[in-house]
Structure 1
Amino acid sequence: MRHTQVKAALAALAVAATLLPTAANAASPSETTSADSPATAAGSPAAAVLATSAGRHAAAVLARAHTAGRVQVAGDAVRYSWPGVYFEGRFVGTGVGIALNDTVNDYDVQIDGATVATLVTPGRTTYWVKNLRYGVHDVRLVKRTESQSGIGEFGGFVAAPGGVVLPRPPDRRRQIEFIGDSYTAGYGNLSPTRECPAPGQLDRNTNADLSFGALTARGLGADYQLNAFSGRGMVRNYNGIEPGTDYRTYYDRALISVPGDVWRNPGTWHPQLIVVGLGINDFSTAINPGEPWTPESLVAAYKTAYQGFIDKLRARYGKRAVIVVSATYVYNTTALADAARQVVQDRNGQGDDRVVYWYYDNADLDYGGCDWHPSAHDHQIISQRLNDFIAALHLRW
């Protein structure tokens, strides 16, 4: 490591020592330890400034880990359930531990921009990345999977002996919120086949970090949320399932499966761009006997609900945010495209010219993911089309 890097690392250690006054646990190079393990590191200058797994509070966790996702403080950890939630940190040293408690979801661990591990339903653990070259490193943990009933817990980053976790990276100036369904979640996008019936096959082959939203945001250097729920529509869910609920039932929650839960914006989330992709599930299947819709009343209810949802977004994020009403190709119907376009036209007619319409068709898409969903290849194409569309908006962000 260069002399200037050494000086910077030592300076960072000194700064961190004033910020993190407790001692931390550490594992041997080959260990994966429980997140409740007692502290074992001692004797090094860094040991006095690291926090024990059991003693960390969520406020301290977020002081050393940046996230833009919807998280909820829970004791010595933060909880979450939306897909694509990520945590980013920096540390000085040769390794880092990641404290997790999640028996349902899968994660990628990235060091200095490269994925070094995929954790499959890791449970309660501290996963260690060791034997790095001594220096300043970036670490990123990202939730790959979508599981509406599974709640994950992140207990923070822990430095290996002789190192220290630095204060959290700053929020990015650009922020994008993606709202949608399975397309937005990256449902089955890594699957080698369109049929994914085996237990766990869908989860193992889903990676929200490779969804078009995540790709677009990272390409623009933006923080982002993927607030996506597969099978849900604006007023009607896929094939009429779970009548009486729709996407709006869950949107306000931090924890999707907890009725009445409400996400509290920490005051740092002010997206300049909001991309809404809801309607595939409303219109992609025929109305079943017993459902309270005709084709005409479904379109009318969809447009009315969409206007109300835009009102909610305006109240939450202000009048300057650009809201993209997104539509795409749906087999054997133009109902989605026609209704979404009308929503935008009506809104513009009311004087809100920062609501815009974006349509992407099926050209060059193979729909090779699970259940004929967009593949990773398709998400790259959709992301490029969205990038081109955003560029034409000339946002001042």
Structure 2
Amino acid sequence: MQSRPRSFAGALALATFLCAGPCSAAVTVAPSDPKLQYTGRIDFADPAAPVLSWPGTGIAGTFTGSTLALKLDDQRGRNYFNVFIDGDVARPQVVHAAKGSGTYTVASGLAAGPHRFLVTKRTEGEEGATVFRGLELADGATLGDPPARPQRRIEFYGDSITSAMGNEAPDDGPDDLPAQKNSFLSYAAIAARAVDAEAHFISKSGIGVMISWFPWTMPQYFDQLDAVDDNASAWDFGRWTPQVVVINLMQNDKWLIDREKRLQPVPDDAERVRRYRAFVAQIRARYPQAHIVCALGSMDATEAGSRWPGYVATAVAQLRQDGDRHLSTLVFPFTGFAKHPRLRHHQANAVLLEKHLREQMGW
């Protein structure tokens, strides 16, 4: 097995990129084992082969023994995963899943006694889906009871900002490398952990409310079970109900309508408000009791003089006038950074979101 260390920008964290290789573990854990704890929109149509496609989807558990390996079957060979052992979030093992089936040793030489693991998908549907084929443990090892789930739940709807596009890239580097996309360190994930909430991340780089960089929009995409492209899969909203929904969209609408002139005829202010309001109403129909945070930022949709925060605020004001009181707005200020937010920007935005959630929800 070959590995190489990598420094995370701003975090001083050391990770190891892992490639497929043989594993000496002797105990196989099936994906359907009830002691495995899954998080996120995961396709369990085949319990022996659950499919992870959304960013931040995860698998957690406890185990004994000195080794741990993942068995993955990846669609495109572009996905990356974090693996945290014993709660050490500063030093994840970073698995680059090769296309096809592979076994990835993520821990070895562990001390005797129980250990914890958490696997999270760093990348999004843009990089494809991954089938989880189970775990391999050391000879004689067993799974223990899974960790307790948080009682609080937040669902996020967003674009590349929520997907953490480029958050681990250097300031002068490219924005679109899958290896530098880490949903675990998005503002959304950081804030959710800060308030001890389980989170689902329904985000797609390039997506908008009225127009996207591809032929579908979030109102057409938000209810999918499978995050890979536009498809007919359907998420069962009864499976998981959040107390809070955070919507952070319209950055791509701003670019594509105002800068690129790709939506014709150009929608006027009233139409922009109406379309955003319609999407919020779609979410409200799914979650009648949830508090919805209508957020925007932190790219140039919130720069000084931008009219886009006003569209969001107007839509929320109209919805409140119509009787929906469980709504609030939050603007993440534009810092002037011309690319996707880096880790320091996500951390700053997480502080703002955490404060907002505590104020609105009493958390």
- TM-score higher than 0.5 here? yes
Corresponding position: 1:209 with 2:184: yes
The answer on whether the counterparts of 1:284 and 1:333 sit within 8 Å (CA) in structure 2 is no
CA deviation vs aligned residue, 1:222-272 (integer Å, no higher than 9, x gap) = 1101111111111122xxx335x21222111121225111123472x1111
Distance in 1 between residues matched to 2:349 and 2:156, nearest whole Å:
14
What's the CA shift for 1:327?
1.7
Distance in 2 between residues matched to 1:65 and 1:194, nearest whole Å:
40
In structure 2, the partner of 1:44 is none
In structure 2, the partner of 1:378 is 345
In structure 1, the partner of 2:17 is none
In structure 2, the partner of 1:302 is 272
Letter in 2 for 1:121: A
Letter in 2 for 1:85: T
In structure 1, the partner of 2:248 is 277
The answer on whether the counterparts of 1:188 and 1:206 sit within 8 Å (CA) in structure 2 is yes
Distance in 1 between residues matched to 2:262 and 2:170, nearest whole Å:
37
The answer on whether the counterparts of 2:126 and 2:204 sit within 8 Å (CA) in structure 1 is yes
Would the alpha carbon gap of residues 334 and 184 (structure 1) be closer, same or farther in structure 2, given more than 3 Å must change?
same
Distance in 2 between residues matched to 1:111 and 1:152, nearest whole Å:
21
Alignment of 1:3-152 (within 5 A): 32-33=21-22, 41=26, 51=29, 56=30, 58=31, 60-61=32-33, 63-75=34-46, 76-102=48-74, 103-114=77-88, 115-123=91-99, 124-128=101-105, 129-148=107-126, 150-152=128-130
Question: Which ranges of 4 or more aligned residues in structure 1 deviate by more than 4 Å?
Answer: 287-290
The answer on whether the counterparts of 2:221 and 2:230 sit within 8 Å (CA) in structure 1 is no
Match of 1:325 among 285, 294, 310: 294
SS in 2 for 1:155: strand
Aligned length: 333
Distance in 1 between residues matched to 2:332 and 2:263, nearest whole Å:
29
The answer on whether the counterparts of 1:66 and 1:89 sit within 8 Å (CA) in structure 2 is yes
The answer on whether the counterparts of 1:99 and 1:156 sit within 8 Å (CA) in structure 2 is yes
The answer on whether the counterparts of 1:236 and 1:282 sit within 8 Å (CA) in structure 2 is yes
In structure 2, the partner of 1:177 is 155
The answer on whether the counterparts of 1:366 and 1:378 sit within 8 Å (CA) in structure 2 is no
Match of 1:389 among 344, 348, 356: 356
In structure 1, the partner of 2:14 is none
What's the CA shift for 1:305?
2.7
Q: Which runs of 5+ in 1 are unaligned?
A: 1-30, 42-46
SS in 1 for 2:39: coil
State which structure, 1 or 2, has the greater radius of gyration over its C-alpha atoms. Answer: 1
CA deviation vs aligned residue, 1:35-74 (integer Å, no higher than 9, x gap) = xx9xx84xxxxx6xx54xxxx3x5x24x222222110025
Distance in 1 between residues matched to 2:92 and 2:214, nearest whole Å:
39
In structure 1, the partner of 2:7 is none
Distance in 2 between residues matched to 1:33 and 1:384, nearest whole Å:
42
The answer on whether the counterparts of 1:337 and 1:359 sit within 8 Å (CA) in structure 2 is yes
The answer on whether the counterparts of 2:78 and 2:178 sit within 8 Å (CA) in structure 1 is no
What's the CA shift for 1:82?
1.4
Corresponding position: 1:163 with 2:141: yes
The answer on whether the counterparts of 1:105 and 1:147 sit within 8 Å (CA) in structure 2 is no
Letter in 2 for 1:250: Y
Instruction: Let me know the Cα RMSD of the aligned residues.
Output: 2.5
Letter in 2 for 1:125: G
In structure 1, the partner of 2:8 is none
What's the CA shift for 1:140?
0.6
